[in-house]
C-alpha cells in the first residue's frame, strides 16, 4: 500500500493519465512508472554497479544473501538465469568459503546458499575448538611440533638497527626471535646482524655458504629448504625463485619430485609435485587455456620474479594469485607464476605444499594432506605417466639413415576386444 508522497503521486497519476482509475494498469507498467518517479535511471545504474561488485566482506552468509537479493532486482539480465545467479553469489563470498564451493556446479541460488551456510558453520565450530584447545596446557609432543613449525616459518623483513634484539616467549616456553621467528637462544640475531643464516659466519651470505653448497651436491632439496617460500601475493616476490625441473628429462635425475594429474577449474592438468621448487608455476599455454574456458586472467607483477631453472635464469612478469586446485574433492588455492614449460601444465612447489600441509611420499607414490582441523586425506598417483614419444622429422630422417626401420601404420579401432592386429599384419609402405 502506497503512503505519503507515493500515495499522492499515484492518485494524481490515476486522475490525469488513467481516467481516474477507469483504465486498468498492469503491474509491469506500474513498476516502470514508479521507478521512473522515485528511482531515477542514474540511481538504478548505481545500484546495478553495486550489485556487480558486491562481496561478502565482513557480513555473515545470511546478511550477504539478503543484500544480494535486495540489489539483484537492478540486474535482471544476470538473475534471470538461475545458474548465473548462483555463480555470481558464490564468487562474491569471502575467499575461505569461495575456495570450498567454486569447484561445485550449483544450479540454483538455494543450493549455493545452503552449502555456504554449512561451510560457515563448520568453520566457526573449528575456530571455537581451536581457541579452546589453545587454552589447555600443551602436551610434550605438541610442544615439539610447535617448535618445529616455528623453525620452518618464513623469514620476516629485517628491521634497521643493531644485532641486539628483544625476544618474546613462544608457546613452547622458549624465547622466540621477533625477526627470524627462531629460538636461537642468544641475544644476537644472525638475520639482523647480516650473518650467514646457515653457519653464522660474517664472511658470506647463506646463498654462498660452503655447507649449503655441500648439501646441493647431494641433491637439490636442501637448497630449496633454505630458500624463502613464496608469499602468495602478486606484488613483490621477496627472493630468487628456484625450480629444478621444467621438462620430463629433468625429473629423471631428481628423487624429490613426483608426477600426477589434478583439476584446475574442472580442467585436467599434468602436474609435478616438486618440494625443491620454492614457488608454484603454471605453463603459459595452460594458463591461456584456463582463460578461454573459465575467463580467469593473470595479473601483472609490480616487480618481475627471477626464476633459476636447470638451463638458465629466466624472468616472469605474470601470476595468478588465487587459483583453485581440486584434489580428492577438496579445493586448495595457490599462487601460480606463469612460466614456459615443456612437458607439464603446472608445478606445485614448496609454497603450495607448506600452505596445505602436504607431505610428498615418493616411495608410496602419493601426496598426504594433514590440514589442522580436518580429516587427513591422501591423493594416490600413478606409478608411471605415459611419455610423449614424439620426435622431429629431421631426427626421424637421421635414424632412418642409420639403418632404423620406419613403419607407416594406419590404426583402425576394432569393435571386438578379442580381435587385434599383429605387427606383421600392418601394411608397411
Query: Cα(53)–Cα(98) distance, rounded to whole angstroms?
Result: 15
Q: Are strands 358-361 and 346-348 parallel, antiparallel or unpaired?
A: unpaired
- Which CATH code of 3.10.310.10, 1.10.20.60, 2.40.70.10, 3.30.300.20 fits the domain covering 237-380? 2.40.70.10
DSSP 74-92: T-HHHHTSHHHHHHHHHHT
Q: What pLDDT was estimated at residue 276?
A: 80
HSE-up of 312 (CA within 13 Å, CB side)? Answer: 4
Question: What is each CA distance from 384 to 40, 259, 274, 387, in whole angstroms?
Answer: 65, 8, 16, 9
Query: Does the global pTM surpass 0.85?
Result: no
Q: What pLDDT was estimated at residue 232?
A: 46
Query: Cα(355)–Cα(176) distance, rounded to whole angstroms?
Result: 22
Query: Cα(339)–Cα(348) distance, rounded to whole angstroms?
Result: 13
How is residue 192 written as a grid cell? 639482523
Q: Specify burial of residue 159 (Cβ count, 10 A radius: 0-12, 13-18, 19+).
A: exposed
Give, for all 429 residues of the chain, the pLDDT tens digit. 666 677 777 777 777 777 666 677 777 777 777 777 777 777 778 888 888 888 998 899 999 999 998 888 888 877 888 888 888 898 899 888 888 887 788 888 898 899 989 888 888 888 888 778 776 654 544 444 444 444 444 444 444 444 444 444 444 455 566 666 566 655 577 666 777 766 777 777 665 777 655 544 444 433 333 334 444 444 444 456 666 555 555 555 555 678 888 888 888 888 888 888 888 999 999 998 888 877 788 888 888 888 887 767 888 889 998 888 988 888 899 999 998 887 889 999 888 999 999 888 877 888 899 988 888 888 887 655 544 456 677 778 888 888 888 887 777 666 655 555 565 666 555
Q: What pLDDT was estimated at residue 187?
A: 58
Nearest CA to 347 out of 266, 250, 239, 238 is that of 250
Which residues are CB-contacts of 361 (< 8 A; sequence separation ≥ 6)?
258, 367, 368, 378
- Domain coordinates of the chain in residue numbers? 39-132, 146-223, 237-380, 393-425
Length of the chain measured in residues? 429
The three-class DSSP label of residue 27 is: helix
Q: What pLDDT was estimated at residue 32?
A: 74
Cβ–Cβ < 8 Å for 271, 247:
no
Q: What pLDDT was estimated at residue 328?
A: 84
Q: What pLDDT was estimated at residue 346?
A: 92
Amino acid at each position: 500500500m502506497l503512503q505519503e508522497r507515493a500515495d499522492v503521486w499515484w492518485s494524481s497519476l490515476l486522475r490525469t493519465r488513467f481516467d481516474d482509475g477507469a483504465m486498468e494498469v498492469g503491474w509491469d507498467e506500474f513498476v516502470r512508472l514508479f521507478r521512473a518517479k522515485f528511482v531515477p535511471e542514474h540511481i538504478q545504474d548505481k545500484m546495478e554497479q553495486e550489485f556487480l561488485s558486491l562481496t561478502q566482506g565482513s557480513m555473515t552468509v545470511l546478511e550477504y544473501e539478503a543484500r544480494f537479493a535486495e540489489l539483484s532486482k537492478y540486474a535482471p539480465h544476470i538473475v534471470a538465469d538461475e545458474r548465473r545467479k548462483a555463480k555470481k553469489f558464490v564468487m562474491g563470498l569471502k575467499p575461505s568459503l569461495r575456495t570450498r564451493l567454486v569447484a561445485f556446479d550449483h544450479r540454483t541460488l538455494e543450493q549455493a546458499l545452503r552449502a555456504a551456510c554449512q561451510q560457515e558453520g563448520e568453520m566457526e565450530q573449528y575456530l571455537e575448538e581451536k581457541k579452546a584447545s589453545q587454552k589447555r596446557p600443551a602436551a610434550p609432543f605438541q610442544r615439539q611440533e610447535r617448535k618445529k613449525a616455528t623453525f620452518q616459518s618464513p623469514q620476516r623483513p629485517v628491521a634497521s638497527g643493531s644485532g641486539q634484539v628483544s625476544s618474546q616467549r613462544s608457546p613452547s616456553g622458549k624465547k622466540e626471535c621477533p625477526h627470524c621467528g627462531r629460538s636461537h637462544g642468544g641475544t644476537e640475531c644472525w638475520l639482523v646482524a647480516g650473518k650467514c643464516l646457515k653457519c653464522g659466519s660474517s664472511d658470506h651470505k647463506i646463498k654462498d655458504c660452503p655447507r649449503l653448497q655441500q648439501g646441493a651436491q647431494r641433491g637439490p632439496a636442501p637448497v630449496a629448504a633454505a630458500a624463502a617460500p613464496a608469499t602468495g601475493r602478486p606484488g613483490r616476490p621477496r627472493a630468487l625463485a628456484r625450480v629444478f625441473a621444467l621438462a620430463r628429462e629433468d625429473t629423471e635425475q631428481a628423487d624429490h619430485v613426483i608426477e600426477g594429474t589434478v583439476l584446475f577449474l574442472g580442467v585436467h592438468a599434468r602436474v609435478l609435485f616438486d618440494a625443491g621448487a620454492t614457488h608454484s608455476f603454471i605453463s603459459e599455454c595452460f594458463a591461456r587455456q584456463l582463460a578461454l574456458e573459465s575467463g580467469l586472467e593473470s595479473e601483472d607483477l609490480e616487480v618481475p620474479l627471477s626464476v633459476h631453472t636447470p638451463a638458465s635464469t629466466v624472468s616472469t612478469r605474470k601470476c595468478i594469485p588465487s587459483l583453485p586446485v581440486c584434489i580428492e574433492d577438496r579445493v586448495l588455492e595457490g599462487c601460480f607464476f606463469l612460466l614456459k614449460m615443456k612437458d607439464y601444465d603446472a608445478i606445485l612447489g614448496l609454497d603450495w605444499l607448506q600452505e596445505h600441509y602436504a607431505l610428498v611420499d615418493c616411495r608410496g607414490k602419493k601426496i598426504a594432506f594433514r590440514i589442522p582441523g580436518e580429516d587427513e586425506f591422501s591423493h594416490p598417483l600413478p606409478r608411471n605417466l605415459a611419455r610423449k614419444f614424439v620426435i622431429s622429422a629431421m631426427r626421424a630422417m637421421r635414424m632412418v639413415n642409420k639403418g632404423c626401420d620406419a613403419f607407416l601404420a594406419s590404426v583402425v579401432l576394432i569393435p571386438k576386444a578379442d580381435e587385434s592386429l599383429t605387427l606383421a599384419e600392418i601394411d608397411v609402405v
